[in-house]
Structure 1
Amino acid sequence: MTDFQKYVQRYLDNIPSEDWLGELKRSGEKTIEIYSNLTEEQSLFAYAEGKWTLKELLLHLSDTERVFQYRILAFARGDKNELPGFDEELYASQSFANGRSLDSLLEEYQLVRKSSQILLETLDSSVLNNIGTANGNSISVETIGKLIIGHNYHHLNIIEERYLPNL
């Protein structure tokens, strides 16, 4: 198994059922539920020096999902151009998430997730196995969709283990 395959598998292993489109909805609902119960002050909490605040983490989910959406769209439409990777640390450091209201970040997350749901639910099944190259690695449309979910659950696990107990 290549390093990239291990990277992908670590996220796919977080998806609790085979109903990945259902899990797209459920992971979004769980994220919204957790963040809806936070105060502005709590949303500025980071569990350790150099770690993201809960606001930064939420915007990271939205940013990453947007990148994955574009990859899905491009590969589903047969685009053969290699797509670049992205530096999540750079994106987070330039997000200015902590200066935004929690409500605005949550609204953005909800809209991005709704967009993902519409995109993935309306794709013809014939394009789910389309392969494209992103960040130097070949990956299918369906796998990118599942990465959105597994990545979200990965961060929900971190929130539950490292953030919430310390609030």
Structure 2
Amino acid sequence: MADMERFRSLVEKLEGMISRVDEGITHIKPDQDKWSLKEIIGHLIDSASNNHQRFVRLQLGDLNNFPAYDKDIWITAQKYNDMQWKDITALWSSYNRILLKVIEHMDTNALGNVWIIDDKKLTLELIVNDYYRHLDWHIGHFEERLREIIEGR
């Protein structure tokens, strides 16, 4: 896949950011309806785990009715704020290193395979690119939340 360097760069960028954060502030929610830093990384773990399934299954053929997930329900159910920062960040980093390998070795003939959901056809290539677009957006989200927490202290 042509964008491997960009994908790797995004993973490394967030790894660098999370390594510099004081664990003592990672549970803080600036507002009840805003995620903490732990919850943002937790959401990115959920995204990685769901997309891992899509990346592998779509290499085997088209997907019909493979479930999506409700991000807020998953965050609430998993209680990321009660977990250790080092555990959450290690899992996120490891999972994303594995995804980079999955994508690097992806059969290019499978990139056109589709996931059919809600009468839409999403190709494997689009899903992979969207995963990293989503990660990039949450890197900005993480930076903004960190700033909010620091300024609110």
TM-score, normalised via structure 1 length: 0.82
Structure 1 residue 136: Cα displacement:
4.6
Counterparts in 2 of 1:38 and 1:80: CA distance versus 1, 3 Å: closer
In structure 2, the gaps of 5 or more residues are none
Residue pair 1:20, 1:149 contacting (<8 A) in 2 also: no
Residues 127 and 33 (structure 1), Cα distance of their counterparts in 2 relative to 1, 3 Å cut: same
- Whichever residue aligns with residue 24 of structure 1, its letter is F
Tell me the distance in 1 between the aligned counterparts of 2:33 and 2:15. 25
Corresponding position: 1:148 with 2:131: yes
- Post-superposition Cα deviations, 1:136-166, rounded to whole Å, max 9, x if no partner, equal 5310111111111111110111222343254
RMSD: 1.8
Alignment of 1:126-165 (within 5 A): 126-134=109-117, 136-165=119-148
Whole-angstrom CA distance in 2 between matches of 1:39 and 1:104: 14
Q: Are 1:37 and 2:20 counterparts?
A: yes
Matches within 5 A, 1:42-57: 42-57=25-40
Equivalent pairs counted in the alignment come to 150
**What is the distance in 2 between the residues matched to 1:135 and 1:105?**
32
Task: Encode CA deviations 1:74-120: one digit per residue, 9 max, x unaligned.
Answer: 11111443211110000000111111111001110011101211111
1:110 to 86, 90, 93: 93
Matches within 5 A, 1:27-106: 27-106=10-89
Stretch moving more, 72-81 or 152-161: 72-81
Q: Point out where structure 1 has 5 or more consecutive residues left out of the alignment.
A: 1-17
Identity over aligned pairs, percent: 20
